[in-house]
Amino acid sequence: MAGITTSGLGSGIDIRALVEQLVAAERAPVQNRLDRQQYSVQSQLSAYGTLKSALSSFRDQVRELAKLDNFGLMRASSSNGDAVAINASSSARVGSYQIEVQALAQAQSVASAGFAEGAVLAGGTLTFRFGTLTPGEEMAFEPNPVLGIKTVEIAPGSTLQQIRDAVNAAKIGVQAAVINDGQQDRLVFTADKTGAANGFVIEADPGLAALAFDGSGNGQAELTRAAADAEVIINGLRITRSQNTISDAIEGVTLTLKDTTTGSVRLDISQDKAAVAGKIKSFVESYNKLQQQITQLTRYDAENQRASVLTGNALVRTLNSSLRNLLTSPVAVLEGSGIRALADLGIITKMDGTLELDNARLDKAIESNFEQIGSLFAAMGLTAEAEGVEFVGSSKDTRAGVYAVEITQAATQGRYLAAPLPSLEGEQGGSFTLKLDGVTSNTIALPRRSYADGAELAAVLQAQINSDAKLRDAGLSVSVEFRDGRLEIVSSRYGSESTVEILTADADFRALGFEVGEGEAGLDVAGTIGGLPATGNGQILTGTGAAEGLQLRISGTGLGSRGTVTFSRGILDDIDSLLSDYLDSDGILNSTTKSLDAQLKDIDKRREALDARMESVHARLLSQFIAMDALLAQMNQTSSFLAQQLAGLERMINA
């Protein structure tokens, strides 16, 4: 075959071009079919990705709305916001309070003696001792063991600015600043924390004597602002706190003290019905946004007779049908209640699948059935048919149902009952330490003075205990009562971990009937929920069985039946579960997209097979056409030879 090419020497035809055209003609139908299949699969993957994103966004909003706090939103107002600001969480209770701010908490400040500009000091050690300072000639100082003692080394020849920087860099709980009083520079030390227990005294080496402060007024430094606790009276009860932000006085309420008052400030806490309505409207809007996205993916353009990628898709039809069923069906366990379906809130499904909200009907439902609305949407227990029972929480395992509550033992508080008080004549007082609910207090001093009666003595003792920094930081408090001639300290907590123990007591405090020793520990609540034994911890009773994880707060001392609690998981829990069936890693959408990914891989393999087959066809056709061309060339040569011979023969004959 040497000398023969694909240029068609024998036939004059461009053999390679012809072969490539034949191969392309054979490839085209198969390749076009694969292209259409690939486009279809990729379009479905893109559409499912869009659907997944829309469902995921909707699920996030469902989970946010399903938080029980959203349906217990409270609104708080202050008649004098410039003096007292108030914020209420969902755990707050409806009510009104009268508050007087008698003193704001403040941080101690001490100013050094004056110095000329550029003055330097010899250096040495500054020692800061933190605690409760009573300044004056009869200065008293009680160390704060939590803050303790801090020291700062000052280099010789330091200026006031360098001393300031050294103190601030040490981060000891005191900030230093250089302030010019109009005549001289003074170094001012200010505690980081407010509160009487966060005061300080300063001991200084001789080279720094101008910075020393002992509280007596004899040192060169002077007290410019005393450490003080905030003092407020709430509904007649006097309380003190080390900060101006108070979040442990009224349950679920945070008070921010801004100024003292000359009279009472009224605080009102009410249900924030407008906020709840806003949450429900947001849910409707988010669902409608999802439906609009689904419509875009499934709509059919009748005018152009063109379907969308997911038009008629069984997966989407099933999803939409399930969602609509959940939104239109009543919650079974709420049968007979005022709110059992979205329709009861004025929410209906339109023909296009979106929701329509009747605002007037929603407002009316919120006004008349506010307590029940949460149970329609979120996991919530209704306790209207129970006495002294409050719903606290649930778990994912708690099943919807109506549960009877039986109490066999009421929760009690730890307490210490003192011996009878011999007499209230003369001055009373004393110092002591106690362990409250496992936390040991600092030394607590009961001011030594005359008390009008046992009630006043009890009130002051209660205030002193509740002002202790260690107990306050642990969120612990007590009530102190005087009855039948005896003082009794009662922990605010309930349950077996609620204890009151006197650890130390001086002679004066023992004279009030207190001896070192433990009081009576509290008891945990005991009983059943839904007929099955429940676990008690303080006042909280936690269910088992179908009521697994159902938590109820049991108040009061009554034993026996407390009524029934209706627990609903709400429609959002079912919607979340449905969406998770589609969105989870092993869910329907991932399974579907994996199948489509497999189809793409199969298409790629079929393309590779097509390429291989076309290469084989190309080689075969090329070989055949080359052989044909060679044969034609040979036949042309034979034809030429015969023509020459015939021509010669003719000449011979003619000759």
pLDDT at residue 54, rounded to an integer: 93
DSSP β-ladder status, 237-241 and 245-246: unpaired
pLDDT at residue 12, rounded to an integer: 64
The yes-or-no verdict on residue 62 having pLDDT over 70 is yes
Are 437 and 491 in contact by the 8 Å Cβ rule? The answer is yes
Quick one: average pLDDT of 366-384? Answer: 89
Are 261 and 100 in contact by the 8 Å Cβ rule? The answer is yes
pLDDT at residue 184, rounded to an integer: 93
Confidence of residue 11 (pLDDT cuts 50, 70, 90): low
**212-237 confidence digits (pLDDT tens):** 998 877 768 899 999 999 999 999 88
pLDDT at residue 138, rounded to an integer: 66
The yes-or-no verdict on residue 1 having pLDDT over 60 is no
Confidence of residue 655 (pLDDT cuts 50, 70, 90): low
Phi-psi region of 596 (alpha: psi -120 to 50; beta: other; left: phi over 0): alpha
- Residue 268 amino acid letter: D
C-alpha to C-alpha distance for 539 and 551, rounded to whole angstroms: 10
**Of 185-189, 277-281, 470-474, the least confident:** 470-474
Interior/surface letters 353-378, b for 16+ CB within 10 angstroms, e for the rest? bbbebeeeebeebbeebbebbbbbbb
pLDDT at residue 642, rounded to an integer: 80
Q: What is the largest CA-CA distance in the chain?
A: 175
Instruction: Compute the mean pLDDT over every residue in the chain, rounded to the nearest whole number.
Output: 90
Distances (CA, A) of 359 to 66, 281, 344, 347: 21, 9, 12, 9
Cβ burial, residue 334 (10 Å; 0-12/13-18/19+): buried
**97-106 confidence digits (pLDDT tens):** 999 999 999 9
**What percent of the chain is modeled with pLDDT above 90?**
61
Is the dihedral angle over the CA atoms 341, 347, 348, 352 positive or is it negative? negative
- Residue 610 amino acid letter: L
C-alpha to C-alpha distance for 547 and 553, rounded to whole angstroms: 14
Q: State the DSSP string of 322-388.
A: HHHHHHHSPPGGGTTSS--SGGGGTEEE-TTS-EEE-HHHHHHHHHHHHHHHHHHHSSEEE-TTBSS
Query: Strand, coil or helix: what is 632?
Result: helix
**Of 95-109, 372-386, 426-440, 616-630, the least confident:** 616-630
Beta bridge partners of 129: 149, 201
The yes-or-no verdict on residue 520 having pLDDT over 90 is yes
pLDDT at residue 284, rounded to an integer: 94
Other CB atoms within 10 A of residue 448 CB: 11
The yes-or-no verdict on residue 321 having pLDDT over 50 is yes
Q: At what angle do helices 314-328 and 570-583 cross, to 10 degrees?
A: 170
pLDDT at residue 4, rounded to an integer: 40
pLDDT at residue 9, rounded to an integer: 52
pLDDT at residue 5, rounded to an integer: 46
The yes-or-no verdict on residue 130 having pLDDT over 70 is yes
Cα Rg for the chain, rounded, in angstroms? 44
Task: Kindly indicate whether the domain formed by 415-518 is annotated with CATH number 2.60.40.
Answer: yes
**426-484 confidence digits (pLDDT tens):** 888 899 999 999 999 999 989 888 888 999 999 889 988 988 888 988 889 999 999 99
